[in-house]
Each structure stands twice: as structure tokens, then as C-alpha cells.
Amino acid sequence: MWESSFSDSDGNSISQIALDPGQSSQVYLDVLVEGEEDADSARVLVRIAIFGTSESSEHTVSVVVSNYNYGMAVSPQSPGEIPGQTDVTLPPGGALSTFFWIDNTGDYPAGDKAVITITGLESSVSRSMFVDGVEIDNSIQIPREGRVLLEVQLKVMEGVSNGVSGIIKLSAASERNAAQTTAVDVMIQVMTIHNLTFSLEGDDEQTVNYPDKAFFKMFVTNNGNVVEDVEIISGESLRGWTVDVIDDEFQLPPGETREIQVRATPPSELLSDDTYRFTVIAQPEGIPVAGQPIELTVVSVTSNSFLNLSQTTQDLLVYGLTGFGALLVIVLFMRSRAENKRIIRALEQDDS
């Protein structure tokens, strides 16, 4: 029988401890390995009893001699500023996946099995583990000097509201060396984030010939963590100007971008050049404090237009007049040529 004893967290040998009602304490079983050959083993019976009573609990521990090293290491796929820690913010009812590398640091030729445990916030956040899209329980075989990418899906449980926070600890150890573990802390915070980014493609000022309209291309990006009901609001119409937003209400999932078009139309009767300034705002529906404004300017020019015609109409008129002129030249040329032939024939008749 191999020698065994108990010790506390400071390494002091102990044979008994005192516990108050509801209190718990961690103790360690130390086994002196006396075998020398690979695969030598011993079974140790561990018994814990309440002094002065017949109440007791027993467990049997197997100790196996090995000439190989066994170990696993866990690390975030995308490390943060603090080593061994990653931060996650989720809205109520939200879910996301975070990824970790599990490395086999042992040297056993046939590989080893990693045992993965996730603890903390069990009543607030559910968790599932996947490797290559296949859900696993709590272990995965890893070849020698190999690694696997572990996907951990986290979901805030129903009824959990904003403000809940805590730590989820993900630990990995070799099945053959459970005493040696590595861990990563996942800092969880349940919080709704409204964050829209509103941007403009091109200049914020346009000059158009009356009565042409001005068109602005804009983009809305959801940098928050909830699906937003986005509304695009323009300022009130002034001096007969009208502003229309094409697709002014829509849903936008986190991380996605939507293109919108804003059209500014001048008054139906504009006698002189006019400059119109207005503001377009993108905001989550009902949350104006999270709105993002962009100021735009349109200059409608009447002095350079012909009869207040639009540029398109002017172009068509120019093309039409050019075509008519070309046709007139051809007709005159043909008539002149026919007249010349008639004169020549008349002269030839006089000579004869």
C-alpha cells in the first residue's frame, strides 16, 4: 500500500477539520508514488467521518504511474488586454459564440483526452460547447502536440435583466492529470447597447439646376448588441422644399449596414437661386438620445437654366435642335444639288 495523507491549502498535514453548519472546506489527498514501472498503480480508499457519530463517506482513488507528461492548456482565440481573460457583453436574452484554443501540452504518443469544465453564473447564462460544429459534452481527444478550436455558445436566460454580471471560468485538464489545470475567465455583463453609426457617401453639399432634385447616399451601421428598429427622420419642410427618405423605417441586426437614399426637391415655383439646409437623423425607434444627425445643403440654381428647364430637358432640347439642324442641312444640300442638275440640263438644251 502506498503511503497517503491529507493536507490543507498551505500544505500542512491534517487529520481533522472543524466546520460550522453550511460551511465547506477543501482538503487534499497526498499519495506517495512508490511504483517505478510504467503503468504501476494503486487504489486508495478515502474515508471521511463525523467525529463521535457513525456518519461517514467513502471514495476510492486510483493512482497510476506514468513515465509521460500529461497536460492541457486553454487560451482565448482573440486575447484581450488582460492575459487569461476575455470580456463579453450581452443584452437580456442575447447570445453569442466565443472561441478558445485547447492545446495538448503532454508528450504521450497516442494523444490525450482534454476534460473541459465551465463554471459560474449557472442560473443566468446557459452554455454549450462545439468542436467543428459538433456539440460535445465535456471532453475531446487531442493528438500529441495538437490543438482544437473550442466554440462556447453563451445565452442569457429568460428573465435575466440588465445589470447582472459575473465571471464564467473555463478550465481544461488532461484526463490523466486532472490536478493540473489551466483556466480562462470570461467576464460577463448583461447590458443593452444602442449604437448606430450614420455616414454619408460624398459631399454634404450639392448644387443642382432647377427643377432637378438632389440625391444623397447614406449608410446606417448597427454597432450595438440588439436588433434595432431604425427610423430616419428629416427636418420640417421650409419655403416649399420637401425632403423624402427612401426606406425610412427598417430593422437592422447587430453588425449589419443598410444603405438609404435621401431626396431633396425644390419648390414648384422658384424664381431665383435658393440654398436649403436640412438635417437627417438616424435613431433607434423611440430613443432620440441615441440618434445620429447629419446636416446637408442643397443649392438650386435658376440663373444658368434656359426657360427654367431642368438639365435633362435642356439636354434633350439641345440634342433635338442639333438633329433638326443636321436634317435641315441635308435637305438644303439635296435641294441645291437638284437645282444644279436642273440648271445644267437647261443649259445643255439651249446649246443644242
Q: Give pLDDT, residue 184.
A: 96
Confidence of residue 308 (pLDDT cuts 50, 70, 90): low
Asked if residue 300 lies in contact with residue 313, where contact means CB atoms within 8 angstroms, the answer is: no
For the segment 276-286, the average pLDDT, to the nearest whole number, is 90
More confident residue, 258 or 271: 258
Q: Does the structure show a pLDDT above 60 at 341?
A: yes
User: What are the angstrom distances between the C-alpha of 305 and each of 115, 264, 272, 310, 312?
Assistant: 79, 19, 11, 7, 11
Residues 220 and 201: their CA atoms lie apart, in Å, by 11
Task: Dump pLDDT digits (tens) for 164-182.
Answer: 999 999 999 999 888 789 9
Q: How confident is the model at residue 352 (pLDDT cuts 50, 70, 90)?
A: low
Task: Find the range with the poorest average confidence among 36-40, 116-120, 250-254.
Answer: 36-40
pLDDT at 336: 79
Question: What digits encode the pLDDT tens for the residues 189-230?
Answer: 999 999 999 999 999 999 999 888 999 999 999 999 999 999
Between CA 254 and CA 94 the distance in angstroms is: 11
Interval 121-178: pLDDT, tens: 999 999 999 999 999 999 999 999 999 999 999 999 999 999 999 999 999 999 988 8
Region 276-289: what's the mean pLDDT? Answer: 88
Per-residue pLDDT tens digits for 35-71 = 677 767 788 888 999 988 989 899 898 887 888 899 9
Cβ 56 vs Cβ 94: under 8 Å: no
Mean pLDDT of the chain: 88
